[in-house]
Amino acid sequence: MNPDLKNLQPYPFERLAKLKAGIQPAVDGHIALSIGEPKHDAPEIVLAAIRDNLNLINQYPLTKGVTALREAIKNWLTRRFSLPEESIQTDQHIIPVNGTREALFAIAQCLVDRSAQHPADKPLVGAPLASGPLILMPNPFYQIYEGAALLAGAQPYYYPTGSETNYLPDFDAIDESVWQRCQLIYLCSPGNPTGSVIDEAMLSQLIRLSDKHDFIIVSDECYSEIYFDESKPPPGLLEVAAKIGQSDYKNCLVFHSLSKRSNLPGLRSGFVAGDSELIKAFLLYRTYHGCAMPPVHQMASIAAWNDEQHVVENRQRYTEKFSAVIDILSSVIDVQPPDAAFYLWLKTPIADDAFARELFATQNITVLPGSYLSRDVNGNNPGQQHVRMALVAPLDECITAANRIKQYIQTLN
């Protein structure tokens, strides 16, 4: 058995199930705001593509996907992030993947050199291992980053993204010795769970640090198409690399998905794009890994990446929900809209786990305690006294949930 398995911590939803165990809610009609699973309808053009291509089920897929899919992805990337023409090549810079989750995990297994041991002069704050390559990740964070690091034989290093920095990283606060040991850094922008967006200046700074210390930037951008101002889409890592003259995208990888953008979490479709040398290595890894996207899903994905109208309509629905929910809650608690994504990162008046437990018991609403998405560093857990609320349900259900949460908060006040 892989000895690194013992380093894995309980998954947040396992902890949440224990928190709720044995509770019989006081009201009927459960509303789940805990899981970021979009509930909007799938685009009809995608469903049609699935129906029209079911005959492809009798074919083995290529690991790198059909050319038409990579072409659709290239065109979308170039349009969306204003990349220089021909800086993205279908045969060099793109690999379709079965959702970003599996790819975010696999990329560390592929690219981290676990033999690169760097004994630490002193234990690193918040890190479970004493030596070895470092993988940096935000705190709070998407738990796949931590599991990927541990099972790649690396040491997680948690950089804080708490309220004191407006839920953004402070790369200046990270010691030079940490950058020297860093092999890979995970970003998430727009952030999960905070919804914060890393701006162009900060992305440029990180690219410069990567140039200096030769580490890989893994940018999880799966929420990039959910934002509230059509004139200000969140910037992307490749976009900024190109703007500062690095259109070879050295050490830069972006991860995008149709799950959130197109309401297709069950399709398991996304892609990785960037540095051609890293993509070449990842293709080799995946050829042996045996995780090619089914041909039917590839055809459906082409239809999704080629259409923007359903994405615009999707954003409008989230904007409407955030407006309604914040309007209801603002009279009883300080609640701010996120920069982007579909989460409310709500600061709670009591301990986050107690808030989540009592909200479920009294109002039959499930939210996720923020401390379950974070790690203690220097005695501080940046997720404490926050809960994550995913506004993925239909508008009327979100409004019902907001009124129940308001009622619960009023009892606390």
DSSP string, 89-118: -TTTSEEEES-HHHHHHHHHHHH--TT---
Q: For the stretch 6-24, what's the b/e string if a residue is b when 16 or more beta carbons lie within 10 angstroms of its beta carbon? A: ebeeeebeebbeebeeeee
Stated length of the chain: 413
The answer to whether 389 and 355 are in contact (CB under 8 A) is no
Locus of tokens 């107690």 = 354
Q: For the chain, give the mean pLDDT.
A: 95
What distance in Å separates the CA atoms of residue 122 and residue 241, rounded to the nearest whole number?
A: 34
320: which DSSP letter? Answer: H
Task: Tell me if the bond preceding 190 is cis, omega within 30° of 0.
Answer: yes
Residues 6+ apart with CB under 8 A from 130: 119, 120, 123, 155
Q: Is the pLDDT of residue 124 over 80?
A: no
Look-up: residue for tokens 């959702």? 99
pLDDT number for residue 374: 97
Q: What is the pLDDT of residues 161-216, one digit of tens each?
A: 999 999 999 999 999 999 999 999 999 999 999 999 999 999 999 999 999 999 99
As a whole number of angstroms, the distance between CA 204 and CA 68 comes to 32
Q: What share of the chain is helix, strand, coil (3-state, %, to 5)?
A: 45, 15, 40
The dihedral formed by the CA atoms of 370, 375, 378 and 382, expressed in degrees to the nearest 10: -20
Identity of the residue numbered 92:
Q
Q: Which two structure tokens, joined as six digits, stand for 254?
A: 């972006």
Nearest alpha-carbon partner for 118 in 109, 126, 129: 129
Q: What are phi and psi of 366, to 5 degrees?
A: -105, 125
* 369 within 8 A of 350, measured Cβ to Cβ: no
Bigger pLDDT: 152 vs 125: 152
Q: Rounded distance, CA 341 to CA 302, Å?
A: 23
pLDDT tens profile 27-49: 999 999 999 999 999 999 999 99
CB 161 within 8 A of CB 167: yes
Class for domain 9-36+310-412, per CATH?
Answer: alpha beta
- The pLDDT-based confidence of 117 (bands split at 50, 70, 90) is low
Give the helix/strand (H/E) hosting 273. strand 270-274
Is the model's pLDDT at 384 over the cut of 90?
yes
**Does residue 127 have a pLDDT over 80?**
no
Q: Would you state the pLDDT for residue 118?
A: 56
Q: For tokens 């701010």, name the residue.
A: 336
CA atoms within 13 A on the CB side of 391: 30
Q: In CATH terms, are 9-36+310-412 and 44-307 the same topology? A: no
Indicate the domain borders of the chain.
Answer: 9-36+310-412, 44-307
What pTM does this model have?
A: 0.95
For tokens 């995780």, what's the residue?
291
- CATH class of the 44-307 domain in this structure: alpha beta
Decide if 76 contacts 117 (C-beta within 8 A): no
Per-residue model confidence as pLDDT tens digits over 85-98: 899 999 999 999 99
Q: Please name the residue that has the structure tokens 């600061």.
A: 347
Query: Which pLDDT score is estimated for 121?
Result: 40
* Whether the predicted pLDDT of 119 surpasses 70: no
Burial of 400 (0-12, 13-18, 19+ CB in 10 A): middle
**Which residue's entry shows tokens 């990039």?**
224
The residues, ordered by sequence, that sit 6+ positions from 266 with a Cβ below 8 Å of its Cβ are none
- Strand order across the 368-369 sheet: 343-347, 386-390, 368-369
What are residue 337's phi and psi, to 5 degrees? -70, 150
User: Distance between CA atoms of 138 and 347, rounded to whole angstroms?
Assistant: 18
Confidence of residue 313 (pLDDT cuts 50, 70, 90): very high
> DSSP assignment, residue 74?
H
Whether 116 has a pLDDT exceeding 80, the answer reads no
pLDDT in tens, 237-269: 999 999 999 999 999 999 999 999 999 999 999
H helix runs in 197-294, sequence order: 200-213, 237-243, 258-261, 276-289
